[in-house]
Amino acid sequence: MKVTTLVVPAAGLGTRVLPLTKNLAKEMLPIADRPAMHYAAKEAADSGITRMALVIARGKESIAHYFTRDLNLERELSTKGKTKELAAISEPAKFFDSVVSIYQDEQKGLGHAVLCAKSAVGNDETFAISLPDDVMMCEPPCLRQMINACEKYGADGAIALVSVPPGEAHRYGIVAGRELDGRTIQIDTLVEKPKPGEAPSNLAIMGRYIANPYLFECIEKTAPGAVGEIQVTDALQQFAKTKKLIGVRYEGTRLDAGDMTGYIKTQFILAAQNPVYRKIMEDILTNGVPRDNAA
């Protein structure tokens, strides 16, 4: 199965991490030493995806700029022999052959944001969707695991899944279906943000999806649902009626950088992956914050 395009809904206001997002796109907030968006893009590139369609709002153009070359800066760093920095700024421009931005003028929900990318995806290609709030630490990359599972089962689409405690189901899309193997289910039921006691299982949707363009038709027919918005989850319920939709319990860890405590935790975990930053963090946690001008 060839998956060429990654759709990234990135038009949100980032109200769950204010004031950081007062004048910065949420997707450009630093997580360890890279912007949040870097991780979702790298995962897609490492999964074999070659195009990215960013669905943005006015004022969020900086997300696309991060994935373009800055020839002046490249020349400057090259002249000064700053090879590490040069490699770091050049990397994101190499992830994709092309990056397009599409404006979502009105905030009508995740489903509506995905629909905005319809013409960028085209009519006959299976595509991927990533919600960059969910940072996936997976090997192979999460989207790759999902594409592999689609190939194995001849599926038309896939969703990344994780089991959550019953008390957390209301925060997610929840799915149910028939077990195919220990990691994969065929999905027949999807409910976005179920009310207490109404979740069909404990399997929650994490922000990674694969679908063929029939999903766009389903979204077009989907009325506003949970929180008054057009939901991808509701459109996928239509999709699953006639298409084979699987759920993949990926190998790895999902970090939720979408609210303030999750964002701080994600910072901590990703910084700790780097031995230099890890040492700094360990020193501080062991010895406390060093005092200037100690007597």
* Contact footprint for ligand G1P (CB under 6 A): 110, 131, 133-134, 172-173, 192, 204-207, 231, 233, 258
- Please give the backbone phi and psi of residue 54, each rounded to the nearest 5 degrees, phi first: -95, 125
Q: How far is it, in rounded angstroms, from Cα 78 to Cα 51?
A: 28
Least CB distance to ligand G1P at residue 12 (A): 8
Closer to ligand G1P by CB, 73 or 264: give it.
Answer: 264
Least CB distance to ligand G1P at residue 210 (A): 15
Q: How far is it, in rounded angstroms, from Cα 234 to Cα 192?
A: 7
Nearest to 41 by CA among 30, 58, 53: 53
Closer to ligand G1P by CB, 45 or 204: give it.
Answer: 204
Closer to ligand G1P by CB, 14 or 207: give it.
Answer: 207
Least CB distance to ligand G1P at residue 152 (A): 24
Q: How far is it, in rounded angstroms, from Cα 270 to Cα 289?
A: 21
Point out which residues pair with 209 in neighbouring strands. 129, 159
Enumerate residues 6+ apart whose C-beta is below 8 A from 269: 137, 255
Least CB distance to ligand G1P at residue 163 (A): 13
Residue whose C-beta lies closest to ligand G1P:
173
Least CB distance to ligand G1P at residue 2 (A): 26
Closer to ligand G1P by CB, 83 or 107: give it.
Answer: 107
Question: Could you tell me if 101 and 56 are in contact, meaning their C-beta atoms sit under 8 angstroms apart?
Answer: yes
Least CB distance to ligand G1P at residue 207 (A): 4
Enumerate residues 6+ apart whose C-beta is below 8 A from 262: 255, 256
Closer to ligand G1P by CB, 77 or 143: give it.
Answer: 143
Closer to ligand G1P by CB, 27 or 134: give it.
Answer: 134
